[in-house]
Amino acid sequence: MSDKNKKIGSVLVVGSGIAGMQASLDCANAGFKVFLVEKQPSIGGNMARLDKTFPTNDCAMCMISPKLVEVGRHLNIDILSYSDLKNVEGQAGNYRVTINRRARFVDEEKCNGCGDCERACPVSLADVFNGELAEHQAIYRLYPQAIPNVFTINKNKLPSPCKATCPAGTNSHGYVALISKGKFLKALDVVRERMPFASICGRICFHPCEDVCNRGKIDEPVSIRNLKRFVADYEWEMIQKGESVERPPDEKPIEIKMDYQEKVAIIGGGPAGLTCAYDLAIKGYPVTVFDANEKLGGMMTYGIPAYRLARDFLEFELDLIVKKGIKVELGTRFGVDFNFEDLEKQGYQTIMFATGAPFTKKIPLEGIDAKGVLESIPFLKETNEGRKPDIGKKIVVIGGGNVAIDVARSAIRIMEPGSEVNVICLESREEMPAHEWEIVEALEEGVKIHPSWGPSKIISDSNGVTGIETIKCISVFDELEKFSPSFDKGIKKTFEASTILLSVGQMSDFSFLSDDIRTKNGVIDTDPLTLETTVKGIFAGGDNVTGPKSLVVAVAQGHRASDSIHRYLRGLDLREDREPIEQTREFAEIPKNTYPAGIPRHVMPTLDAATRKTSFIEMETGFTADMAIKEASRCLNCAICSECYECVRACKAQAINHDSKDELIDLNVGAIILANGFEPFDASLKPEYGFGRYKNVITSLQFERILSASGPYSGDIKRPGDGKAPKKIAWIQCIGSRDVTVGNDYCSSVCCMYATKQSIIAKEHESDTDCTIFFIDMRAFGKGFEGFYNRAKNEHGTHYIRSQVSSIKENPENENLILRYNDVESNNRIVSDEFDLVVLSVGLVANPSIKETAELVGVQCNQFGFAGTQPAYPLLSGREGIFLSGAVNGPKDIPETVMQSSAAAALCGQLLNDARGTEIEVREYPVEKDISDEEPRIGVFVCHCGINIAAVIDVKSVVDYVKKIPGVVHAEDTLYTCSQDSQKIIKETIIEKKLNRLIVASCTPRTHESLFQETLREAGLNKYLFEMADIREQCSWVHQQEPEKATEKAIDLIRGSIGKSHLLEPIHFKTVGITKAALVIGGGLTGMTTSISLAKQGIEVFLVERNDYLGGELIHIDRSLEGDNLQVRLSDAIKEVELEDNITVFLNSTIDSVNGFLGNFTSTIKGTATTEIKHGAIIVATGASQSQPSEFLYGQNDNVMTQRELEVNLKDNFIAKNVVMIQCVGSRNDTRTYCSRTCCSEAIKNALAIKEQHPETIVSILYREIRTYAYKEVYYRKAREKGIRFIHFPDDQYPDVSEKNGALEIKVHNTVLGKELTLPANKLILSPAIIPESENNERIGELLKVPINEDGFFMEAHVKLRPVDFANEGVFVCGLAHSPKFTEENVVQALAVAGRVSCILSKDTLEVGGLISVVDPEKCASCLTCLRECVYEAPFINAEGVAEIEAIKCQGCGNCTSACPAKAIQLRTFTDIQEKALFFSILKEPEILKNELD
């Protein structure tokens, strides 16, 4: 056999809802390695979102939570959450699959689910799990009980536009998010990571971030720049008030400071040079900044006027930068005062030039040399130094850029009132390069702007300038957008002027450069990526490279140069992995689940124009804290995670890594189970119901979350609109189901029942709630559903109205909803009624991932997007070795899902039987140490859980206390007791200190007990010598405000565990062999299917059938509704049974006796001979039959027949003019309360067959409800299209059938018409009930000690999660014996049993014992109390005449121990004396502890 054909003993399960979990468990327990792939961060699927489940109203979380834990802990299930299937190759038995493990940015091994990160995260999003009725953070877990219980960071793949656009790379999103939560200083730290000039940039930046802000698409961009300014001001004010701005040690920005020796010279102390110096100083380089001016700051100091940038802030910030360890030499000009050689001599190893562009461009203009023509930069410098040059009363500024405006506005501030400032520029008003807001502010201050004028000559007299002559500028740029102004010289304008200020652009002076440092186009020629000049190791950046640009661009240049210099000095590649020069233009869109807070953009408060134009006082006064928080909360969190790194700082376990990447893994598996499941229908696709428009219209899943105690309102029923408790609730059924307009013409199968359930639970919350369900047909077809529906109606008072609601309107006064509908059962009255809350019962639609996966694995989907195309074989995908389970193949309820999963596991078992057990992991442990003669030597580990415990409980003092308790030989505290290194320490300590008891005080034993027990075993101790005290969930987390009392409580709890631990004893399991054989009772298709599957899985089968033939009830049915030939299917099965060596068939036989228990039964089969067999499991597949009607002239008139009889008739030429069918004959009545499930479909099947043969035949189906659930609905629709008449009659008005002159006449009250109809009928067809084999069932029930329900069908262990198991272990049920159902469902159930049985019988042995109850025969009085008490029938009276507990049956609940009057029974690890020691030790101090226990 080639390697390719080798079968692999592992299974890939895609999707981890209840379907995927059950399939995984059944495969893993049957000896296969399982890889469980889930898209979401945690497993659990939709069931985890439910509050309760119908028809028992059990708590969904109570049911699913143990399953989650079981899957999570299973040695042979690898959960690959947050992962996607990427590729599948190979064939059945040997597939190679590729999985993409998406980066969750949290290390699953290190994260302990404490949630510190979540509390630190500033980004809130709508919580989809909670129906968007609550919020969660960008770092989140789906729900508190999630498995794996680790966090995930939700990041958009694309960056936030603001962050991506900032030339300096400032994390705008990050600081805005922090500001929105009031974390101002932290926000400032985020700013400073990339922007050393927080305060300055917060004032003068031209904020390209705001231009691209997505919020601008909704209303106006977030005021990002002003927010940055706010946090800088906030810190400054704190300093002014003398408050400490020292960040706590663990919240300080991360600075990795090295001590490098290489000296760096930076020429130019403007923003580019200072940024470069700042970066290098932080890295640890000795840096010197040289500047020709007397002050640092370059254009920030000399170019920006104080009214825009107050000097206090400027100086403060420059000082802050210098304090990072930068040496500054001012007033010294490179090329004049010092040169290259000087620097070299002083040991500088590299130079960066950042000399800026501080010189004003000259223009060739007549009269330019006249007195009174000034350059703008020296003018600004002068005014910024506080001087007031005399410029007269009329000035003209030439230029339209920002500097020109600064000059004009500075001028107006030093001039006498009434002076005139004119700005002339070539550009038109729209083309002016100055920022619009600057122009507007200038205009407000009285500056006059004259666009489209070019200077032609300066007019002067002997005293100097007197004016300027200008000509009209027609255009500034040519077609190639090159600067090439053209003028109309004929149009002239002259301005009077005492001074003319030239502001037509700036330039650099490079006279200081050596020849080998080349320039190009007026700037230094550098490599744009590295900023290296034409001389190796000499760098340049800022305006002298870019030409005059903004502060933020200069900062960007500074960063780039510093990176290069560091690389250069460290001998690294200058180009490798550099940030690209071009900023990414692909930005994140607005994410779906963030909503904009409805706050308008805050306008920066400014001084009014009249006040500000008189001085240089800063004109913008800044945001208040309140404004800042509100403004920041307008942010839409485009990238979702803002990368503020708060989580990184908060996570003491160091589990977070924002740089983690997706990871591809390859696996080899033998089979694949697709369990992708459904998603709820999107109610907004039916806009007429107002979802999304009316606040109090919600979906059923949202209501489910509202009902849940761990939901958005903690289980209080409130309206989302106003939080009021709704008193009157309406449910509208079939939203997105049975609806061709949305392409879903199937029935979703579950909505009728979940709405019924929700109405009952709503009333249980508030008994005076009025509940109304608007429905089309009440589809209570499942086991126990009809009774549930009746209870809702009759006991809980839920109103059911058969009607489709025609309109929903909101009452504007109270946000109530006004429903208009046509009440079918009340003479079609049009009714208008008002409800507080409307719940839309949304259907189940195919999960979008189904399509994706199906394409990948080569599986076809049906027209509704669900996988698979053969309704008769729902588990088969059409591709061998790939199976379907759960809602992946169509909408269904939980038990059906669970059955399909066990069945899919059985199919995997059949396929991979040869490879079973080859891939699984078995853990080996050292031999257990005998401690029976040892005194207790107790070790105690108390966990800090980072700060989760330690922040509340004084862990050190707990340890000090514990050390003093008798018996304790070791006590220590650990940061994370569950971490790998702690496990190692525990193991070593056990060995070193010869510990024989271990106590861990940390989190909950529910999730962590098994982990520590493993460690015990690895250290050679019995795992039951362990106790755990929960001091996190049940102490530090719930007593956060009471540290002292919480510490006392923790001590009490640990003392209790120590007290109990003295009395702990090792517990050993007993291994018993298993008989690998199964007894199947019933030879119908169901029993045969189970038998075949088991036989193929290598299990011997005894198939017992009481008749002399195989085939059971199915011999009566030819075809299914879907057209499947059932007789072929049946005969194929019979053939297969006969051919299968592993199956022994006993016909004409019954079971006479059954003894033994799970794994080892002995039974006798009575037939022609009596045979004793040994087997490990029992399967009840005894079927059911059809009732014989006694009504409607059945048996009296030959033209009255059952559907089955009709089917026989249809084989010949069936001719009748009028055919009438009556449904629910013998079902859903007082004596037989259940629905027979199949009859509606049977009737439709036969009606369609009649129409096929004779389209002219009039077929009328008289019904109470049509229950064509799931895809069968398609045939119902087809029947209506074919003209089959469906006539509804009320439950209490069955039709009246009479015979007149040999002809049948049927009178029926038609609900829709509201009157009685008389129908002639040539043939009357009855749809009788499916009834249990009561007598047989009772006999078998007694033999096997399994229960029968009130309807006479067998009762499974749990309706939802154990649908084919009996509570009595090792005994299973399937087929009609369980409840009425269709052939394909019986087959699934039969396979499900095979899957479950294989979990037991695939093993060689069974571990028995452990935490079970044990009888002390000395004390037993044989009173039989325990026998009565135990629901598992574990106790029995043994040969000695005393009670004994069958270890294999005992579930360890301890109910017998508390009932035993003689106290003869004890539950291991919960014995009376152990329990007594536990709570005695909790309540008492240790001194007396010892005496009491002796």
Partner 1 sequence: MSKEPIIVAFCCHYCAFTAADLAGTMRKQYPTNCRIVRLPCTGKVDVNMLLKAFEFDADGVMVAGCEEGGCHFIQGNIRAIKRVVYAKTLLAETGVNPDRLVMYHIAASQGPLFAQRATEFTEIIKKINHEELTREKNSDDNSRRQAV
Of 1224 and 1478, nearer to partner 1 (C-beta) is 1478
Binds partner 1 (CB under 8 A): choice among 641, 850, 1130, 1367: 1367
Binds partner 1 (CB under 8 A): choice among 803, 1337, 1457, 1474: 1457
Of 299 and 1467, nearer to partner 1 (C-beta) is 1467
Binds partner 1 (CB under 8 A): choice among 547, 596, 1452, 1486: 1452
Q: Establish if 1470 lies at the interface with partner 1 (CB under 8 A).
A: yes
| Contacting range for partner 1; rule: CB under 8 A; set: 51-59, 460-468, 901-909, 1088-1096 | 51-59
Of 930 and 1044, nearer to partner 1 (C-beta) is 1044
Q: Give the distance from CA 220 to its chain's centroid.
A: 31
Q: Establish if 1045 lies at the interface with partner 1 (CB under 8 A).
A: yes
Q: Establish if 1369 lies at the interface with partner 1 (CB under 8 A).
A: no
> By CB neighbour count within 10 A (0-12 exposed, 13-18 middle, 19+ buried), where does 258 fall?
exposed
Q: Establish if 1278 lies at the interface with partner 1 (CB under 8 A).
A: no
Binds partner 1 (CB under 8 A): choice among 578, 1417, 1475, 1493: 1475
- Name which of residues 104 to 133 contact partner 1 (CB under 8 A): 115
Q: Establish if 612 lies at the interface with partner 1 (CB under 8 A).
A: no
Q: Establish if 1472 lies at the interface with partner 1 (CB under 8 A).
A: yes
Q: Establish if 1048 lies at the interface with partner 1 (CB under 8 A).
A: yes
Those residues with Cβ within 8 angstroms of residue 430's Cβ, 6 or more apart along the chain or in another chain: none
> By CB neighbour count within 10 A (0-12 exposed, 13-18 middle, 19+ buried), where does 1100 fall?
buried
| Contacting range for partner 1; rule: CB under 8 A; set: 12-20, 1324-1332, 1337-1345, 1476-1484 | 1476-1484
| Nearest to 579, CA basis, from 520, 519, 531 | 531
HEC readout, 452-475 = CEEEEEEEEECCEEEEEEEEEEEE
* Least distance in angstroms from the C-beta of 432 to partner 1: 57
- Name which of residues 641 to 660 contact partner 1 (CB under 8 A): none
Rounded CA separation 1396/1180 (Å): 13
The Cβ of residue 1439 has, within 10 Å, a number of other Cβ atoms equal to 6
Please report, to the nearest 10 degrees, the dihedral formed by the alpha carbons of residues 1265, 1269, 1275, 1280 taken in order. 30
Q: Establish if 1424 lies at the interface with partner 1 (CB under 8 A).
A: no
Q: Establish if 892 lies at the interface with partner 1 (CB under 8 A).
A: no
| Contacting range for partner 1; rule: CB under 8 A; set: 33-41, 335-343, 1047-1055, 1088-1096 | 1047-1055
Q: Establish if 1042 lies at the interface with partner 1 (CB under 8 A).
A: yes
Q: Establish if 719 lies at the interface with partner 1 (CB under 8 A).
A: no
Rounded CA separation 673/884 (Å): 6
- Name which of residues 1000 to 1039 contact partner 1 (CB under 8 A): 1004-1006, 1030, 1032-1035, 1037-1039
Those residues with Cβ within 8 angstroms of residue 908's Cβ, 6 or more apart along the chain or in another chain: 11, 27, 32, 670, 671, 673, 883
User: Peptide bond preceding 55: is omega within 30 degrees of 0, i.e. cis?
Assistant: yes
Of 710 and 826, nearer to partner 1 (C-beta) is 710
The two beta strands, 1143-1146 and 483-496, are unpaired
User: Peptide bond preceding 148: is omega within 30 degrees of 0, i.e. cis?
Assistant: yes
* Least distance in angstroms from the C-beta of 149 to partner 1: 9
The Cβ of residue 1275 has, within 10 Å, a number of other Cβ atoms equal to 19
Binds partner 1 (CB under 8 A): choice among 1049, 1096, 1228, 1378: 1049
Q: Give the distance from CA 610 to its chain's centroid.
A: 56
Rounded CA separation 804/732 (Å): 8
Rounded CA separation 1144/1083 (Å): 11
* Least distance in angstroms from the C-beta of 1049 to partner 1: 5
Widest distance between CA atoms in the chain: 141
Of 1039 and 1106, nearer to partner 1 (C-beta) is 1039
Q: Establish if 330 lies at the interface with partner 1 (CB under 8 A).
A: no
> By CB neighbour count within 10 A (0-12 exposed, 13-18 middle, 19+ buried), where does 1043 fall?
middle
- Over the window 966 to 1005, marking each residue x when it contacts partner 1 by CB under 8 A and - when it does not, the resulting string is --------------------------------------xx
Q: What single-letter amino acid sits at 13?
A: V
Strand order in the sheet with 770-775: 697-699, 837-842, 728-735, 770-775, 799-802
Binds partner 1 (CB under 8 A): choice among 212, 1235, 1453, 1464: 1453
Residue 570 in contact with residue 349, Cβ under 8 Å?
A: no
Q: Establish if 957 lies at the interface with partner 1 (CB under 8 A).
A: no
User: How far, CA to CA in Å, does 1449 sit from each of 1370, 1411, 1458?
Assistant: 10, 12, 18
* Least distance in angstroms from the C-beta of 1111 to partner 1: 37
Binds partner 1 (CB under 8 A): choice among 446, 464, 715, 797: 715
Of 178 and 1053, nearer to partner 1 (C-beta) is 1053
* Least distance in angstroms from the C-beta of 891 to partner 1: 25
Those residues with Cβ within 8 angstroms of residue 622's Cβ, 6 or more apart along the chain or in another chain: 226, 229, 230, 233, 604, 605
Binds partner 1 (CB under 8 A): choice among 1459, 1462, 1486, 1493: 1459
Kindly state the number of chain residues that form the binding site for partner 1, as judged by CB under 8 A: 63
3-class DSSP state of 688 = helix
| Contacting range for partner 1; rule: CB under 8 A; set: 523-531, 550-558, 989-997, 1471-1479 | 1471-1479
The Cβ of residue 823 has, within 10 Å, a number of other Cβ atoms equal to 15
Q: Which residue has the tokens 């697709």?
A: 674
Binds partner 1 (CB under 8 A): choice among 981, 1431, 1485, 1487: 1431
Half-sphere exposure of 1097 (CA within 13 A, CB side): 35
Q: Establish if 1473 lies at the interface with partner 1 (CB under 8 A).
A: no
Q: Establish if 1467 lies at the interface with partner 1 (CB under 8 A).
A: yes
Of 935 and 1472, nearer to partner 1 (C-beta) is 1472
| Nearest to 912, CA basis, from 14, 31, 322, 15 | 31
Binds partner 1 (CB under 8 A): choice among 2, 5, 767, 1041: 1041
| Contacting range for partner 1; rule: CB under 8 A; set: 297-305, 429-437, 981-989, 1454-1462 | 1454-1462
| Contacting range for partner 1; rule: CB under 8 A; set: 62-70, 196-204, 308-316, 1260-1268 | 62-70
- Name which of residues 136 to 175 contact partner 1 (CB under 8 A): 144-145
Of 578 and 1476, nearer to partner 1 (C-beta) is 1476
Binds partner 1 (CB under 8 A): choice among 19, 34, 61, 635: 61
In eight-state DSSP terms, residue 742 is G
Q: Establish if 51 lies at the interface with partner 1 (CB under 8 A).
A: yes
- Name which of residues 1195 to 1254 contact partner 1 (CB under 8 A): none
Rounded CA separation 1061/967 (Å): 10
Those residues with Cβ within 8 angstroms of residue 1317's Cβ, 6 or more apart along the chain or in another chain: 1287, 1307, 1308, 1309, 1310
Of 115 and 881, nearer to partner 1 (C-beta) is 115
Q: What single-letter amino acid sits at 388?
A: K
- Name which of residues 1392 to 1411 contact partner 1 (CB under 8 A): 1411
Positions touching partner 1 (CB under 8 A) are: 51, 56-62, 65-66, 115, 144-145, 708-710, 714-715, 1004-1006, 1030, 1032-1035, 1037-1042, 1045-1046, 1048-1049, 1052-1053, 1056, 1367, 1411, 1429, 1431, 1451-1455, 1457-1459, 1463, 1467, 1470, 1472, 1475-1476, 1478-1480, 1482-1484
